[in-house]
Amino acid sequence: MRTRWLAFVASLLATFLLVVPLSASNAKEDPGQQRAETAGQGLIGTFAPKLVLRSIDGEVIDLGKLYGKKAVYLKFWATWCVPCREQMPHFERAYQTAGRDLAVIAVDIGFNDPLEDVRMFRRQSGITMPIVIDDGSLGEAFHLRVTPQHVVIGRDGRIQYVGHLADQRLEDALAAARMPAKASSRLSGGSSQVKTAYYGVGDQLPEISAATLDGQTFHTQDSGANGPTVLVFMDTFCEWYLETSRPSVSKSCREVREQVNALAQGNARIRWLGIASGIWTTKDDLVDYRDKYKPGIPYARRIGCVIPNIPR
């Protein structure tokens, strides 16, 4: 009996030793979840924007007409995003089991993701929910910071959840969002089509200012400038993260960075500004990028400054 008891205790201890480290590792929050929740802090409880979207198949999706009738689940994603692809079975299951009280919409962020790649991914993965390619307006409205980023809007038209992981928190948010909507005058009225300003060759840019990493303010219209101004749109993860999922894009990002650095050193009359998107890029990330590659141009983050939309 004693031998059996000792064996049982030893078995319990072994199980405890195996379980405790695993629990400790799970206790550490996923950085993507942290960034998404931080980005969503100012959105939770506010009325979601009533925007009109168009899917890649031409379907018109009027978010304003859904509020008050259905909950809305928006998933921001990209074909090159590894966790996005890993979560697609869960996303498709959410769409297939949505019922009449939940609208499920896939929002490709449109960053290094041409339409043909999105269509190919849809065929290969077998996803069937409506897909919208963002022109930047949705990401701006819903504080896009990571991929994937989940936004859950309740039937009352209020944003109830912003997250990154496909976990129980997301499931609970989806269930809560489907509860009957409370009456609100804010739900009445039509939706608006987002009017985005685009600029092409020959257009006159408005005055745009941005705070750079060195604490200066960069103005596109500077009376003291005696040469052209060049805006370089980039992101800090392009080279290392896309090296596996999009090697050709990763190579292009590296080549552009090297070319820009060379050109910036060769002509002092040109005013340069590197502009990092807010996706997976905090100020610390941009500082690390600058310190690693030591570029010869100033950098600013898109968040907190007005940057024009460039036609894709």
Q: Within this chain, do residues 97 and 229 fall inside the same structural domain, yes or no?
A: no
Q: CA-to-CA distance for 174 and 193, rounded, in angstroms?
A: 26
Q: What is the pLDDT of residue 44?
A: 96
Q: Is residue 224 part of a domain?
A: yes
Q: Is residue 103 part of a domain?
A: yes
Q: What is the pLDDT of residues 114-153, one digit of tens each?
A: 999 999 999 999 999 999 999 989 999 999 999 999 999 9
Of 309, 280, 105, 300, give the one whose Cα is nearest residue 209.
300
- The answer, yes or no, to whether residue 4 has pLDDT greater than 60, is no
Q: CA-to-CA distance for 90 and 92, rounded, in angstroms?
A: 6
Q: Within this chain, do residues 148 and 267 fall inside the same structural domain, yes or no?
A: no
- The answer, yes or no, to whether residue 236 has pLDDT greater than 90, is yes
Q: Within this chain, do residues 42 and 95 fall inside the same structural domain, yes or no?
A: yes
Q: Within this chain, do residues 49 and 181 fall inside the same structural domain, yes or no?
A: yes
Q: What is the pLDDT of residue 21?
A: 34
The mean pLDDT value for 241-247 works out to 91
Q: Is residue 312 part of a domain?
A: no
Q: Is residue 18 part of a domain?
A: no
For helices 115-125 and 82-96, the axis angle rounded to 10 degrees is 60
Q: What is the pLDDT of residue 273?
A: 94
Q: What is the pLDDT of residue 194?
A: 53
Q: Within this chain, do residues 40 and 110 fall inside the same structural domain, yes or no?
A: yes
| Enclosing domain of residue 116 | 31-187
Q: Within this chain, do residues 169 and 265 fall inside the same structural domain, yes or no?
A: no
Q: What is the pLDDT of residue 24?
A: 34
Q: What is the pLDDT of residues 90-108, one digit of tens each?
A: 999 999 999 999 999 999 9
Provide the CATH number for the domain around residue 230: 3.40.30.10
Q: Is the pTM of this model over 0.85?
A: no
Please tell me which residue, 270 or 3, carries the higher pLDDT value.
270
The mean pLDDT value for 29-44 works out to 92
Q: What is the pLDDT of residue 225?
A: 79
pLDDT above 90 coverage of the chain, percent? 65
pLDDT above 70 coverage of the chain, percent? 83
The mean pLDDT value for 71-95 works out to 97
Q: What is the pLDDT of residue 311?
A: 39
